[in-house]
Amino acid sequence: MLKNSKIYIAGHRGMVGSAIKRNLESRGYTNLLHRTHSELDLTDQWQVNEFFESEKPEFVFLAAAKVGGILANSTYPAQFIYENLMIEANIINAAYKYNAKKLLFLGSSCIYPKFAPQPMKEEYLLTGELEGTNEAYAIAKIAGIRLCKHYNQQYGTNFMSVMPTNLYGQNDNFNLETSHVMPALIRKFHEAKINAKPEVVIWGTGSPKREFLHVDDMADACIYLMENYDYSDTAEFVNIGTGKDLSIKELAKMIKDIVGYKGEIVYDRTKPDGTPRKLLDVSRLHGLGWRGKITLREGIEQTYKWYLDNHKDKRS
């Protein structure tokens, strides 16, 4: 990518898309394209084709998606599979049709089987049953990976996919009904602190283990790969993570300490845990020359500060 290359960021107001936008701007890229949902409905094929035909972006970061935690995925599975399938199919097809030089599709680590060996290597895709609580979202993301693969095979495009681990950071969603575990815990502990509540209730047993990557590291990895890596038949996609995990119980204690909450933590064992463990094997990523820089504690401290400054925003 040249500094004046025309670069389209789909989903530029979401957590990942906004981080990619910030990173590109900090590197001196000056010709960035983006549209709000009211300006461009990505589930509408006609609108997407019209946008690509008129703007003809050279590089595409496909970060737009309908996302959420266990509750949202379980409550709205039809919306999760339909909207994500439409978004990725429309953009990937338009990128081919209007000759984009390169596209990077962002998937999710939930694509892996529920009981995949740990850490999860890229070749474990489609080797077992998915976790039921987010199956609809996972199937949509798997379809996106295969769309990129088969467009490359049939049309000679250069569309690649990356699989990020659990992300958190600036512009995260702190709505307790639709958020992921990290922002949900930050909000729960903060509200318990300011309201002097004696306890914070957390779903499940606290035993599942999760890996977390700050979204600014994720964005840096995406741009590094866009600049330095091309699709390969032998490397269909690349995991992006830290290669380190911790239990939800350990995470809760860390967030409790950072927030400064003094009460008790209670685990609601009637609620689902989800996948027992999700740790990515990041040896391929490290072999390509990229490693994260932001430690988990540093990242949570930054995210809590951002939440304090912005928690009256409509997403919270």
Q: Catalytic amino acids?
A: 137
| CA pair distance 273, 102, nearest whole angstrom | 38
Q: Does 107 belong to an annotated binding site?
A: yes
Of residues 250, 138, 263, 119, the one with CA closest to residue 201: 263
Q: Does 280 belong to an annotated binding site?
A: no
Q: Does 37 belong to an annotated binding site?
A: no
Q: Can the peptide bond before residue 119 be classed as cis, meaning omega within 30 degrees of 0?
A: yes
SS3 196: coil
Helix ranges (DSSP H) in the chain: 15-26, 45-55, 70-75, 77-97, 135-155, 181-194, 215-228, 248-259, 283-287, 296-310
Phi, psi of 120 (to 5 degrees): -85, 120
Q: Does 38 belong to an annotated binding site?
A: no
Q: Does 46 belong to an annotated binding site?
A: no
Q: Does 193 belong to an annotated binding site?
A: no
Q: Does 141 belong to an annotated binding site?
A: yes
Q: Does 14 belong to an annotated binding site?
A: yes
- The half-sphere exposure of 94 on its side-chain side, counting CA atoms within 13 A, is 28
Q: Does 15 belong to an annotated binding site?
A: yes
| CA pair distance 316, 302, nearest whole angstrom | 17
Q: Does 167 belong to an annotated binding site?
A: yes
Q: For tokens 């306890």, what's the residue?
A: 199
| CA pair distance 167, 164, nearest whole angstrom | 7
Q: Does 13 belong to an annotated binding site?
A: yes
* 80 neighbors 132 (Cβ within 8 angstroms): no
Q: Does 17 belong to an annotated binding site?
A: yes
| CA pair distance 2, 113, nearest whole angstrom | 38
Q: Does 109 belong to an annotated binding site?
A: yes
* 213 neighbors 241 (Cβ within 8 angstroms): yes
Tokens of 70: 């266990």
Tokens of 298: 């540093």
| CA pair distance 199, 261, nearest whole angstrom | 9
Q: Does 146 belong to an annotated binding site?
A: no
Q: Does 175 belong to an annotated binding site?
A: no
Q: Does 16 belong to an annotated binding site?
A: yes
Q: Does 210 belong to an annotated binding site?
A: yes
Phi, psi of 102 (to 5 degrees): -160, 145
Binding residue numbers for NADP(+): 11-17, 106-109, 141, 164-167, 180
Binding residue numbers for substrate: 188, 203, 210, 273
Binding residue numbers: 11-17, 106-109, 141, 164-167, 180, 188, 203, 210, 273
